[in-house]
Structure 1
Amino acid sequence: MTDLLTAIILGIVEGVTEFLPVSSTGHLVLATELLGFRAADWAVFNIAIQPGAILAIVVLYWRTFMAVLMGLVKREPNSVAFVRNLLIAFLPAAVLGFAFNDKIETLLESAQVVAWALIAGGVAILIVERLARTQNVGGIAGVSAGQSIKIGLVQCIAMIPGVSRSGATIMGAMSLGIDRRTAAEFSFFLALPTLTGATVLQLAKHHDQITAGGMKLMAVGFVVSFLVALAVVKGFMALVTRHGFAPFAWYRIVAGAAALILLNR
């Protein structure tokens, strides 16, 4: 298989999974291994294409971003609370990600860790879906500062590949009583500083390993992940509204079990 085709496949995987509670990083690690490559060799590429999926959120929610920016200029309380909550939730990941970057990179090389984390995360989603008592909080601005820091702390669990950043933040928010839609959108918007920070850190750390050919492959993966994420996010919100997160939980359990079988053949 050519590197170009691999880049396209991984871009599709990133676009499909980044905002679903199924772990995009975990799927990228598994996909790389199952395609016959060492996950470590594609680790920087897998992180570098994440901004493509992030850009999809900016495009899909551009009206929200414009409204928040205009509100900040006018110092409207809702806009200030919106930005405050995202920054507070981002801080734990920023601190821990910088402090334990090398250990996190080691985990990214383990497909076995990913498979077990997929299963454990699926079980956790089923438990939260069954037990959580949520209510409409009126959007991200309606989330309290205390809830935001707790969501940020839960997000840090996703530094273990296979846990899922979006899954951790969504389930963490729901366990705090926040409604599904707000929890999902909080996860979407929190991805912007979190994934951008992770990408910048990795590219700065490994810039000497990036070749001209590697940059071209990253550009392909970026574009593919952007286009795929555009389609996936809308469908995701419609599915969650009607069926909740249980379908993703069962998918995680089946996918994790299948990965263990394939990896141990």
Structure 2
Amino acid sequence: MDTANGLAAPVTSAVRRFFAGVGLLLRGIGLYVRSPGLMLLGVVPALISGVLFVGAFATLVYFVDDLAALVTPFADDWPTTVRSLVRVAAGLAFLGLGGLLGVLTFTAVTLAIGDPFYEKISERVDDRHGGTPGEVDVPFWASLRRSVADSLRLVAISALVGIPLFVAGFIPVVGQTVVPVIGAAIGGWFLALELAGAPFYRRGMRLPERRALLKADRPTTLGFGVAVFVCFLVPLGAVLVMPAAVAGATLLARRSLGQSIESVQGR
């Protein structure tokens, strides 16, 4: 790709491409700062979803000891120290799975609630970077139905992936070190797929095409998605970063399509 024409420069190192993906989120945050009026609209649906999901996660934390005991009845007669270690591992596994699914379902629900707002943010980003080649006019309700259907599919797949991670969470040390890293990578991948939905829909592309294009540059996609995932784990991070993540995902989509990710002068 030609940087002189404002297209994303090719990089060969997976590490460099990963950090290029992180940079797309940072650029999304920059757009957020420069357009506070538009971006603040995106905080409203995220705030509504945030209240619901914080309540749900707090409930999980409250009952996590009971759940850990429920799935480890075999440890009832074990020595106190060993039993406690097993149930702490089980509790952490529950919290890890809950966090992974919580972040993904939060994104899906927030995108559904705020579809008009996030579509506007994504459209504005496209306009600032050269427009939307091959734009397709999709009616609002049709777009919402497709978005919800694709989001449900992604959440279902991530839940299936999360089950082995949940089981692996019982493994001492590995379950508390390696598994969270794998979970962040998987969660980041699905987050990128979800957040990039709007710009691909405007180009008439559904989930299979979106997945194939983002997979072609997986390190960049993972860099963006993992950065968003980590931000979403920070208290209030999901609410504050959501509009910027949508903006960054639009840049990610443009990059994957070989379109300019440099601002057009005067826009």
The alignment's TM-score, normalised by the length of structure 2, stands at 0.28
Higher Rg: 2
